[in-house]
Chain A
Amino acid sequence: MVENVVELSAINRVYEMGEEPLYALKDLTLSIENGDYVAIMGQSGSGKSTLMNLIGCLDRPTSGRYILNHKDVFELTDDELASIRNTTIGFVFQQFNLLSSMTAIENVMLPLVYAGVEKEQRIMRAQFALQQVGLDQRRYHRPTQLSGGQQQRVSIARAIVNKPRILLADEPTGALDSHTATEIMALFDELVEQGITVILVTHDGEVANRASRIVRMRDGQITSDSRIRSQKNTPA
């Protein structure tokens, strides 16, 4: 039996807007197994981004329990959450979110800087991560000197450089053409095979179909949850 890396139970996320409380997430329960490849689909406003932020420890639930990697997130301080984001989670954004004043390798090294890793180690690991995404040759280029697909590769390298358990991708192909998108999706497949749990948010059915499990949402609740293929990888 595979253990769960994410366990959400009875999660509510409420925004106080005027008199009526707005439920971005309503009584949501979801478990994700270690090493799984999950696509979360839904229209804008369905709560999928709120869910991603919760899973990524950028936000806290109003009520409910979130166990991440055997830790109860509710009890953690802001700095402890920052530390989890640094070591357990990797983020990939639609808009890449690279720092434009830094070169590719400096961007990839940034999580290691905050993790307090020694400089030589940082360079070695960042180079390795860039190799994994096939951008070893462009390590000294700045984001503005790279194409969209290349920038997204740098951001994936940054997400995996600190060996996270979970990779969270929010519309990772949203800003890319279909050919580049396919390349990026192939990269995710590889990462899943290496044992990283990948959770991606998308509204593109084609992208979602590459995952092993598809979770559909509407109005802050899960409407369907289907496994379309068995887990590609079963970590020991």
Chain B
Amino acid sequence: MGARELFKIAWQGILSNKLRSSLTVLGIVIGIASVITLMGIGEGAKKEAEKQVQSLGVNLIYVRPGAASNASISQGQGTAPTLTYEDAKAIKETCPSVDEVAAQYNSAFQVQQGEYNTSTTVLGTDPAYPEVRNFHPARGRFFNADDMKECRRVCTIGDTVREDLFPDESPVGKQILIRGELFQVIGVMEKKGANQMTDMDDQIFIPITTGYSTLFGLNTVTGQAVKMVLARAKDGQDLQAQFQITNLLRLRHGVKTPDQDDFQIRTQMDIMQTAQSITGVFSLLLGATAGISLVVGGIGIMNIMLVSVTERTREIGIRKAIGAKFGDILWQFVLEAIILSLTGGLLGITLGMIGSDWIGRFAKWTCIVTPFSIILAFAVSLAIGLFFGIYPARKAALLDPIVALRTE
């Protein structure tokens, strides 16, 4: 018997009980739609995390001083002055895969301007900082190499600081007091918002050399400690750069074995991987939740198919008496199940895409439906029809025609 005939017979079976068929389909629609939507939310979270990590700057390598260990009591990262400004300079000069370096030393200070005052973070860094961080001045300028060399008392302020200190006037060219020291404002940074660690806008940027000589209380004698060195690798050379920095610092610090390392290196890649593994778990959880509703929908199909086989026992007997073979009956019911689940699948995909669009629009959450999730949903609904349809269909095909014909 031809596929078209089988399809027609199956279709007639579905039409013979429209309400029940539609309710069965509904179970699959809900299952597939939730899979599509929740996978979309998971995918959106992944993209969002990637975007945030990217916004910190690309190809970045973070070098931090290692935790000082005092009689086995870890004193926390950044407590030991093991990383110095000299290290940062050496990285810039000797590591060929490193393209820019910005050392950082930060501390919180009271800042005044006229009648306004605020407490904020003062970050001493290098002129390369805007480039490395992908964070630029919106007005005025960032300090340059000359400012550095001459330890000029200039600063570029973040947008939050500007709001606090200069609510009504333009700050460029004005002077502010940082812990009583006079600094001239030469620029205002663009608005960046907060990342996982700090509010990027609530900072004042000064040349790190000026910081050492004025605010930070560190000099060449005590050692010019830095809290972090940000290095930017040349494109595609993240691993080489990481390797070069590690070796350089071990050499400079006289470290003999890796477990004595007094610094820590993390790359953008590490952070990205952490973020991805978190969002991956998130996606998996969402997918699993949706998967449960899909299984429930599949059991619904099996349930209805079993009822349908029982109800149509006599019909099966008649068909067998007039010459239907095992395969004819089997395929009739398997196809019925597949048509139900595929119809549910297609409607579910449509509904899921509409749902994702709404979530994107009204909940302000990026919800991305990938071709992969559509193909997956389609394949899963096909598999459900096959898997949950085959048992009832086999039951029907194995019915003894004599018994079946005797059934009322």
Contacts and interface: CB of A to CB of B under 8 A. Distances in A.
Interface of A: 53, 56, 58-59, 78-79, 82-83, 85-87, 91, 93, 97-99, 101-102, 110-111, 113-116, 158, 162
B323 A86 contact: yes
A58 B323 contact: no
B324 interface: yes
Of B1, B2, B314, B322, chain A has the most CB atoms within 10 Å of the CB of: B322
A116 B3 CA distance: 11
Given A82-B320, A114-B325, A58 B402 contact: yes
Interface in B150-181: none
11 contacts: A53-B402, A58-B321, A58-B405, A79-B326, A85-B323, A97-B314, A98-B318, A102-B12, A110-B319, A113-B1, A114-B323
A91 B402 CA distance: 12
B70 interface: no
B401 A58 contact: yes
Of B2, B325, B327, chain A has the most CB atoms within 10 Å of the CB of: B325
A91 B321 contact: yes
Contacts, number: 61
A107 to B, nearest CB: 9
Contacts of A58: 320-321, 401-402, 405
Contacts of A53: 402
Given A101-B12, A114-B1, A116-B2, A83 B401 contact: no
Contact of B322 (A78, A79, A110): A110
Given A97-B314, A114-B328, A91 B322 contact: yes
B315 interface: yes
In the A-B complex, the 4 residue pairs with the smallest Cβ-Cβ separation, listed nearest first, are A86-B323, A114-B323, A82-B325, A111-B322
B222 interface: no
Contact of B325 (A56, A79, A102, A162): A79
Interface of B: 1-2, 5, 9, 12, 15-16, 314-315, 317-328, 401-402, 405
A213 B324 CA distance: 32
Contacts of A93: 405
Contacts of B405: 58, 93, 97
Contacts of A91: 321-322
Contacts of A99: 315, 318
A193 to B, nearest CB: 24
A87 B322 CA distance: 9
A167 to B, nearest CB: 13
A91 B315 CA distance: 14
Contacts of B15: 101
B5 A113 contact: yes
A58 B320 CA distance: 9
Contacts of A115: 323
Contacts of A101: 12, 15-16
A97 B12 CA distance: 18
B322 A83 contact: no
B324 A114 contact: yes
B314 A116 contact: no
Contacts of A114: 1, 319, 322-325, 328
